[in-house]
């Protein structure tokens, strides 16, 4: 009997010795808490829609997302990568939102179908070359520069002549569309397909580009927010659309477009 008593006492002492001194020392799953408080969104540098993450005015889409989630007090982490890398990060759940997602991403991501912006692509040429572009086949008149991985024409009228042009140069998006216009100015390419807003800002602000002009061909492509295909992604989409409705109601949504000197879309009015 004494032996059993002493054995029980020893086991009790061992369990007390190994127990944590304070209950608070028990490890907690901080990763889950962090995931609920932080929102990660990614893009390539595509100013004025998604600009460098290290500057004050980070871009129209960044500002809209930030304002839409303001009431939720989320810690928003915005970073820029190459376009291919940014898309892959959201598809593989490394990030939650892809800025400027396109129709081609519908099967891989959850798109903000009720929120989109029609962006216009234009052809930039040198005036001195006298190049005219009126129909898709005209793109074979010179060497075309484009961004690899971009979709330009949702209606697919110009797209085959852009993507399947053997006389084209496809550069990585990490260089940015600004690099395309530099190649054009230095006669490395003859035609650059670019976003209208990007081309307009470059030509307006750089005297070295005075020989460049834009040719508009009514090439429109809708861009969305793309959320990863998780339960949280679906929730974030609904929260974003609710936030956008409030921004529209208060007039803040239109003010953000004005901030970046982009015309407020008619379908949002």
CATH number reported for the structural domain that contains residue 108 in this entry? 3.40.190.10
Residue 206 lies in a domain: yes
Contact present, 40 and 97 (Cβ < 8 Å): yes
Q: Which of 63, 25, 21, 23 is nearest to 41 (CA)?
A: 63
Calpha distance 65→256 (Å, rounded): 11
Q: Are strands 168-171 and 144-147 parallel, antiparallel or unpaired?
A: parallel
Residue 220 scores a pLDDT above 60: yes
231 and 107 in a common domain: yes
Residue 33 lies in a domain: no
Dihedral angle, C-alpha 181, 185, 191, 196, nearest 10 °: 40
145 and 233 in a common domain: no
144 and 205 in a common domain: yes
Residue 174 lies in a domain: yes
Domain C-terminal end among 188, 204, 220: 220
Residue 236 lies in a domain: yes
246 and 173 in a common domain: no
105 and 179 in a common domain: no
Residue 24 lies in a domain: no
CB atoms closer than 10 angstroms to residue 138: 16
242 and 112 in a common domain: yes
259 and 173 in a common domain: no
**What pLDDT, on a 0 to 100 scale, did the predictor assign at position 37?**
80
86 and 100 in a common domain: yes
Q: What is the mean pLDDT of residues 90-97?
A: 98
Contact present, 62 and 99 (Cβ < 8 Å): yes
Q: What is the pLDDT of residues 149-172, one digit of tens each?
A: 999 998 999 999 999 999 899 999
pLDDT confidence band for 176 (50 / 70 / 90):
confident
DSSP H or E run through 117? strand 117-126
Residue 203 lies in a domain: yes
Q: What is the mean pLDDT of residues 185-191?
A: 96
255 and 163 in a common domain: no
Q: Containing domain of residue 155, as a range?
A: 119-220
* pLDDT, averaged across the chain: 88
Q: For 144-188, give the secondary structure using H, E and C.
A: EEEECCCCCCCCCCCHHHHHCCCCEEEECCCCCHHHHHHHHHCCC
Residues 6+ away with beta carbon under 8 Å from 53: 78, 79, 80
Residue 27 lies in a domain: no
133 and 208 in a common domain: yes
The CA–CA distances, whole Å, from 62 to 37, 56, 78, 187 equal 18, 11, 8, 34
Q: What is the mean pLDDT of residues 73-85?
A: 94
Q: What is the pLDDT of residues 18-60, one digit of tens each?
A: 444 333 333 334 444 444 589 999 999 999 999 999 999 999 9
The percent of residues in the chain predicted with pLDDT above 90, rounded, is: 80
**What pLDDT, on a 0 to 100 scale, did the predictor assign at position 174?**
86
214 and 228 in a common domain: no
Residue 91 lies in a domain: yes
Q: How many domains does the chain have?
A: 2
Buried/exposed 36-75: b ≥16 CB within 10 Å, e otherwise: eeebbbbbbbbbbbbbebeeeebbbbbbbbbbbbeeeebe
Q: What is the mean pLDDT of residues 207-219?
A: 95
172 and 108 in a common domain: no
Tally of CA atoms within 13 A in the half-sphere of 202 that contains its CB: 25
pLDDT confidence band for 244 (50 / 70 / 90):
very high
Q: Return the percent helix, strand and coil in the chain, to nearest 5.
A: 45, 20, 35
The CA–CA distances, whole Å, from 215 to 24, 29, 125, 131, 135 equal 66, 56, 8, 10, 11
């Amino acid at each position: 009997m004494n032996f059993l008593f002493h054995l029980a006492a020893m086991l009790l002492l061992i369990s007390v010795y190994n127990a944590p001194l304070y209950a608070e020392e028990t490890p907690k799953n901080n990763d889950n808490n962090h995931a609920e408080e932080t929102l990660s969104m990614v893009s390539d540098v595509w100013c004025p829609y998604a600009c460098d993450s290290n500057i004050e005015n980070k871009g129209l889409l960044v500002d809209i997302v930030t304002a839409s989630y303001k009431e939720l007090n989320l810690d928003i982490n915005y970073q820029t990568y190459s376009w291919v890398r940014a898309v892959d990060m959201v598809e593989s759940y490394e990030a939650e939102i892809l800025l400027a997602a396109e129709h081609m991403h519908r099967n891989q991501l959850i798109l903000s179908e009720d929120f989109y912006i029609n962006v216009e692509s234009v052809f930039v040429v040198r005036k001195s070359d006298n190049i005219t572009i009126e129909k898709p086949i005209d793109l074979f008149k010179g060497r075309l520069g484009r961004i690899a991985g971009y979709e330009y024409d949702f209606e697919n009228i110009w797209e085959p002549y852009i993507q399947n042009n053997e006389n084209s140069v496809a550069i990585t998006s990490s260089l940015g569309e600004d690099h395309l216009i530099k190649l054009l100015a230095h006669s490395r390419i003859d035609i650059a397909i670019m976003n209208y807003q990007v081309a307009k800002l470059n030509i307006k602000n750089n005297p070295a580009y005075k020989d460049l002009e834009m040719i508009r061909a009514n090439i429109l492509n809708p861009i969305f927010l793309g959320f990863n295909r998780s339960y949280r992604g679906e929730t974030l989409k609904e929260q974003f659309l609710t936030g956008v409705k409030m921004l529209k109601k208060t007039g803040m949504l239109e003010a953000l477009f004005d901030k970046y000197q982009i015309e407020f879309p008619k379908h949002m009015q």
